Amino acid sequence: MNDGAPATLRVAVLGCGVVGTEVVRRLLTNASELHARTGTRLELVGIGVRSTATPRDPVVPTELLTEDLRGLATSADIVIELMGGIEPARGLVTGALAAGASVITANKALLAQHGPELYEAADAARVDLFYEAAVAGAVPVVRGVRESLAGDKITRVLGIVNGTTNYILDEMTSGGLDFEKALAQAQELGYAEADPTADVEGLDAAAKAAILASLAFHSRTSLDDVPVQGITSISPEDIASAAQTGHVIKLLAIAEQGTYDGVGGLAVRVHPALVPVEHPLASVRGPFNAVFVEAEAAGTLMFYGAGAGGEATASAVLGDVVAAARHRVNGGKAPSESAHAALPPMPAQAVHTRYQMRLDVLDVPGVLAEIAAVVAAHGVSIETVRQGMRDPDEGAALVIVTHSASESALAATVADLDTLEVVERITSILRVEGT
Amino acid sequence: MNDGAPATLRVAVLGCGVVGTEVVRRLLTNASELHARTGTRLELVGIGVRSTATPRDPVVPTELLTEDLRGLATSADIVIELMGGIEPARGLVTGALAAGASVITANKALLAQHGPELYEAADAARVDLFYEAAVAGAVPVVRGVRESLAGDKITRVLGIVNGTTNYILDEMTSGGLDFEKALAQAQELGYAEADPTADVEGLDAAAKAAILASLAFHSRTSLDDVPVQGITSISPEDIASAAQTGHVIKLLAIAEQGTYDGVGGLAVRVHPALVPVEHPLASVRGPFNAVFVEAEAAGTLMFYGAGAGGEATASAVLGDVVAAARHRVNGGKAPSESAHAALPPMPAQAVHTRYQMRLDVLDVPGVLAEIAAVVAAHGVSIETVRQGMRDPDEGAALVIVTHSASESALAATVADLDTLEVVERITSILRVEGT
Ligand SMILES: NC(=O)c1ccc[n+]([C@@H]2O[C@H](COP(=O)([O-])OP(=O)(O)OC[C@H]3O[C@@H](n4cnc5c(N)ncnc54)[C@H](OP(=O)(O)O)[C@@H]3O)[C@@H](O)[C@H]2O)c1
Ligand SMILES: NC(=O)c1ccc[n+]([C@@H]2O[C@H](COP(=O)([O-])OP(=O)(O)OC[C@H]3O[C@@H](n4cnc5c(N)ncnc54)[C@H](OP(=O)(O)O)[C@@H]3O)[C@@H](O)[C@H]2O)c1
């Protein structure tokens, strides 16, 4: 920490809905980790709401609620705007920046319409304006494009940035549903709102496309520059026809360099498109988001994850809060925390995982019972057993998958199995991960 | 830019091999973009090499080559270490940090063995030590974990961080090759070195696992803490058996929280594992890398891209250079550059893409010729035509995929097709992207 670093930064949250509540929860319950990551204490000084009388999640401290959003926004070091909509969010953000606060926002509508004036206001005030959560929720594509690729040249961005439409198209593809049924199902599961227009007509994706294009191409792209086509006219026949040639249909937000009348230009658009099944974007399932970036030197990169949800979005917001705090405290450098709450290494034998064992065994009655008894004796439980591939003249092969067991229990099991007469050979032991 | 910001930062490159040459190329050819991104001029002041007499790529300015690596490392603002190996890299990096330089390195071996002492040296000197390229080449997982997830709690990291082994396993899976043949093929294509030990025995992945674990869990994990198993014993039978239950085999670098004797601990390991085909890691093909991160609030995130190669690795190095330069100039804040070289928006009609048109047509002779003539008249060229699905009593359906064409040419084509007697209906027009 620098010598002049503040011991405390005052943090204000504007809006206490789905995302705001989760941000408040993490600010309060993870205070000590946040201190370690930033080198300073983050003090939540107020939560701006329309009415302090509205019932809130118990994690929200009543005494911090205030209806004076402007007073709050102009008296904090870090202001987190989670109200949504254009006004009063725009005025509050501008006021906060002018008052010298770093601002974090998840407000795609505001940025897609008034981004350039806000970025300039932040420049003029020499403070940060961060908005990771505005593009693809928890997916860290904003930081990836702005920082990781800052020494490269991006040539194209293809994004699945709306989880509602991706869920609907995915259900139409894998479940054979038509658009109306898939939409109804998305609404039931909470993936689509009662009024799904902004999602299914592509407007939400268009706002994100404008933000991504501005960022990736250092341009001033606004929502009005983005031609949009939604997914309401996609039919089961379109999906089936795409499948016949090895494609799936995805709603894509696209920004790419091109030439027009010999002059370089930027094309930004949102529309459903056929994507080859072997393309990494094709395997983005359900409500997930992913952004595929093509750059001159890096080649192709993809960022994948949860595009929405209070908790996931709060994760992105907090990442921005930590970055802004680090900038205010020590010029962006993360404090050392190798000494802080470091987890001790676990001995290898303590690792728990699922195992697949393949055994060559004698083809005699009772072999399975004998093996199962040995496995059970070590407290390992069997999930499945199936016949493996082996020439029948030579005996049988078994493939056993265990439930999660410790490495040491497995090692003991294997040692015992190896002594059994009925076990000719243990042909392989592999772990099963990713479940 | 701050008032006291330096007009120039002195940049030194140590090592001029595969990666070093590409870094030099980008520093020189993209100087004006780098100036715009950082707010300062990055002046390449020297390139440290073993012998100035060795022939180099023409992009490397001979007058900047020097064999005095120590002198260079202690007289620059930003030192980029691209030599590899432990010594002399370790001494040079330590010397550079002590002299107040920000250091960028791609050296996984050095970090996996001596990371903690280097991070501490950087802390003591209050300078940055960045190493995005050391874990997964161009894939921005270091920044994702250190910054984007800084306000979250990571619970598990699963990475495909070695392209050589992923290529070999992929060829064994899709091409049915055995290990030896797949390795030979990887060597032919330049994906594996003549001595493939470090890759196929999992040692390269283990170094990366140690770095990732240190970063994700704020721990001090070194290479010695990572049990390793390579892929040399994986057989075609293992692959086939995995496929039967819907799994593929991947070499994974894993770091996860667990408990051992009731105490929380960190388990880090590298081994081949069965991964369910629907898991996002399962679709990582060929020499690509991907890191899958599970966090408390964010849920699951994945970072995907090229894990090696001079150009791709240089992209990650340059991203770090820009970040370090921004820190030195203005506390981490990116300068505004909305005015700099912004691309003008291209009109929608100028966009070029491939199109799929589905048409219901009369089932009469000559229909295809008539349609093809109309399409050709607008300068649009047809890639494929196939029979679509339609009740045969009703006539025929055609699915036409075009080569890349402009939106305006397509619109004119469609307008004309719509006037043809043989065309009953244009049932859908969709773009094809991601190719
Ligand atoms: N939810 C997600 O998954 C997600 C993901 C990415 C980005 N975002 C963005 O995050 C922002 C917040 O989304 P959300 O889902 O949390 O919305 P939300 O649940 O509707 O919450 C918005 C909150 O802001 C308050 N608010 C609105 N106008 C206000 C005003 N004039 N004065 C005081 N308070 C006001 C609302 O108060 P009342 O309760 O009194 O109306 C409500 O508590 C939006 O910009 C959204 O686009 C959300
Ligand atoms: N290549 C990749 O795809 C990739 C990807 C990620 C990370 N990395 C990492 O990037 C680093 C560089 O890799 P690379 O592929 O560029 O290696 P490389 O082609 O072997 O280049 C290394 C360079 O460093 C020079 N060098 C080594 N020891 C030296 C010494 N004592 N004094 C002066 N110069 C010395 C070598 O000089 P000579 O030519 O005279 O031997 C050579 O020019 C390594 O740490 C590697 O792990 C590489």
Mean pLDDT of A75-84: 98
CA of A123 to the centre of ligand 1 (A): 26
Q: Which of A237-241, A345-349, A393-397, B55-59 has the lowest mean pLDDT?
A: A345-349
Q: Which residue, judged by its Cα, is nearest atom 20 of ligand 2?
A: B17
How many angstroms away from the CA of B8 is the closest CA of chain A? 17
Percent of chain A with pLDDT over 70: 96
Cβ B151–A26 below 8 Å, yes or no?
yes
Q: For residue A244, what is the nearest residue in chain B, using CA coordinates?
A: B388
**Crossing angle of helices B108-125/B203-216, nearest 10°?**
30
pLDDT of residue B5: 67
Statement: residue A381 has pLDDT above 60: yes
Statement: residue A341 has pLDDT above 70: no
Is B305 assigned a ligand-binding role in the annotation?
Answer: no
Tokens of B44: 């390449």
**B6: preceding bond cis by omega (within 30 degrees):** no
pLDDT of residue B2: 45
Active site (catalytic) residues of B: 208
Helix (H) or strand (E) holding B21: helix B18-29
State how far the Cα of B173 lies from the Cα of A169, in Å rounded to an integer: 29
Residue A170 lies in a domain: yes
The closest CB to that of B431, out of A152, A271, A323, belongs to: A271
Q: B422, B362 in Cβ contact below 8 A?
A: yes
State how far the Cα of B91 lies from the Cα of A374, in Å rounded to an integer: 54
pLDDT of residue B348: 77
CATH number at residue A359: 3.30.70.260
The closest CB to that of A302, out of B120, B143, B305, belongs to: B305
SS3 A265: strand
pLDDT of residue B1: 39
Number of domains into which chain B is organized: 3
| Other Cβ atoms closer than 10 A to A415 | 12
Residue B118 lies in a domain: yes
SS3 B386: strand
SS3 B303: strand
Provide the domain limits for residue A25: 8-138+310-330
pLDDT of residue A330: 76
How many angstroms away from the CA of B388 is the closest CA of chain A? 7
Cβ A138–B298 below 8 Å, yes or no?
yes
Is A286 assigned a ligand-binding role in the annotation?
Answer: no
pLDDT of residue B103: 98
If asked whether residues A77 and A123 sit together in one domain, one would say yes
pLDDT of residue A197: 96
The closest CB to that of A345, out of B37, B233, B265, belongs to: B265
Cβ B143–A148 below 8 Å, yes or no?
yes
Cβ A305–B317 below 8 Å, yes or no?
no
| Other Cβ atoms closer than 10 A to B319 | 29
State how far the Cα of A81 lies from the Cα of A107, in Å rounded to an integer: 7
Q: For residue B289, what is the nearest residue in chain A, using CA coordinates?
A: A301
How many angstroms away from the CA of B70 is the closest CA of chain A? 25
Give the residue from B343, B426, B435 with the most A CB atoms within 10 Å of its CB, the best one to mutate.
B343
Residue A343 lies in a domain: no
pLDDT of residue B128: 94
Residues pairing with A104 in the sheet: A80, A130
- The answer, yes or no, to whether any atom of ligand 1 lies below 6 A from the CB of A308, is yes
Q: Exposed (0-12), middle (13-18) or buried (19+): which is A161, by Cβ within 10 Å?
A: buried
Q: At A84, is the pLDDT very low, low, confident or very high (cuts 50, 70, 90)?
A: very high
Strands (E), B277-333: 288-295, 299-306
Is A16 assigned a ligand-binding role in the annotation?
Answer: yes
- The answer, yes or no, to whether any atom of ligand 1 lies below 6 A from the CB of A24, is no
Q: For residue A3, what is the nearest residue in chain B, using CA coordinates?
A: B126
If asked whether residues A114 and A194 sit together in one domain, one would say no
DSSP 8-state code for residue A334 = P
If asked whether residues B287 and B152 sit together in one domain, one would say yes
Strands (E), B82-184: 102-105, 129-130, 154-160
Average pLDDT per run of 10 along chain B, which is 435 residues long?
71 98 97 93 98 96 98 98 97 98 97 94 94 96 95 96 97 95 96 95 97 92 93 94 93 90 87 94 95 97 96 98 91 60 74 90 89 93 85 83 92 94 92 86
Q: Which residues of A touch B358 (CB under 8 A)?
A: 237-238, 241
DSSP B182-221: HHHHHHHTTSS-SS-HHHHTTHHHHHHHHHHHHHHTT---
pLDDT of residue B157: 97
If asked whether residues B62 and B147 sit together in one domain, one would say no
How many angstroms away from the CA of A143 is the closest CA of chain B? 7
| Closest C-alpha among A106, A41, A34 to residue A341 | A34
Mean pLDDT of A349-357: 87
pTM of the full structure: 0.93
If asked whether residues B148 and B268 sit together in one domain, one would say yes
Q: For residue A308, what is the nearest residue in chain B, using CA coordinates?
A: B298
Q: For residue A278, what is the nearest residue in chain B, using CA coordinates?
A: B283
If asked whether residues A315 and A387 sit together in one domain, one would say no
Mean pLDDT of A413-435: 92
Residue B257 lies in a domain: yes
Residue B343 lies in a domain: no
B75 to chain A, any CB pair closer than 8 A? The answer is no
Is ipTM strictly over 0.95?
A: no
Contact pairs from chain A to chain B, CB under 8 Å = 406
Q: B250, B166 in Cβ contact below 8 A?
A: yes
| Other Cβ atoms closer than 10 A to B359 | 25
User: Which is more confidently placed, A10 or A339?
Assistant: A10
If asked whether residues B271 and B378 sit together in one domain, one would say no
Cβ contacts of residue B415 below 8 Å, gap of 6+? none
Q: At A4, is the pLDDT very low, low, confident or very high (cuts 50, 70, 90)?
A: low
Residue B175 lies in a domain: yes
If asked whether residues B134 and B145 sit together in one domain, one would say no
CA of A91 to the centre of ligand 1 (A): 16
Statement: residue A301 has pLDDT above 50: yes
Cβ B297–A315 below 8 Å, yes or no?
yes
If asked whether residues A126 and A184 sit together in one domain, one would say no
> What is the pLDDT of chain A when averaged over all its residues?
92
Cβ B267–A237 below 8 Å, yes or no?
no
If asked whether residues A286 and A324 sit together in one domain, one would say no
The half-sphere exposure of A235 on its side-chain side, counting CA atoms within 13 A, is: 7
Q: Which residue, judged by its Cα, is nearest atom 38 of ligand 1?
A: A50
pLDDT of residue B390: 74
Mutate to test the pocket of ligand 2, among B19, B56, B131, B135 (most ligand atoms within 8 A of CB): B19
Mean pLDDT of A150-163: 96
Cβ A331–B332 below 8 Å, yes or no?
yes
Q: What is the pLDDT of residues A43-60, one digit of tens each?
A: 999 999 999 999 999 999
If asked whether residues B50 and B156 sit together in one domain, one would say no
Q: What is the pLDDT of residues A182-225, one digit of tens each?
A: 999 999 999 999 999 999 999 999 999 999 999 999 888 999 99
Residue B412 lies in a domain: yes
Is A21 assigned a ligand-binding role in the annotation?
Answer: yes
Cβ A152–B389 below 8 Å, yes or no?
no
Residue B393 lies in a domain: yes
Mutate to test the pocket of ligand 1, among A313, A315, A317 (most ligand atoms within 8 A of CB): A313
CATH number at residue A107: 3.40.50.720
If asked whether residues A298 and A317 sit together in one domain, one would say no
DSSP 8-state code for residue A194 = S
Statement: residue A142 has pLDDT above 60: yes
The closest CB to that of B333, out of A128, A158, A235, belongs to: A128
Mean pLDDT of A95-119: 96
State how far the Cα of A65 lies from the Cα of A54, in Å rounded to an integer: 10
CATH number at residue A234: 3.30.360.10
